[in-house]
Amino acid sequence: MNHKNIFTKIIEKKVPANIIYQDEKITAFTDISPKAPVHILVIPNLFIKNLNYINKKNLDILSHMMYVSIKIAKKNKINKSGYRIIINCNKHGGQEIQYLHIHILGGKKLRKI
């Protein structure tokens, strides 16, 4: 499998993106096709295909991704009104890019699911 997809290129800054947060473990940037006024993606800097590939060795990345997602929600002032965190897994789960990522959605009333 070619791990050099669009997310890898964003991490490596080989394609432009509105990166709003980056550290040694994760990168966060605005979605180019937003589904809400605030739509940010949070990805690990180390390739993980999807949730099915979380194991004891990389388990800490999920907690870091969630922690930073909460900080991003606060920074974007959607923490009080509400926001949604989504992780899609595989085709039937709606995952379009085979690279683990969190969607942070907010800034308007979201439809119930």
Among candidate residues 3, 39, 92, 101, the one labeled active-site is 101
- For 64, the token pair is 């870091």
Is 3 marked active-site? no
Number of C-beta neighbours around residue 73 at 10 A: 22
CA torsion through residues 2, 6, 68, 110, sign: negative
Of 24, 23, 29, 33, the closest CA to residue 9 belongs to 29
Specify the length of the chain in residues.
113
Any idea which residues carry the catalytic annotation? 101
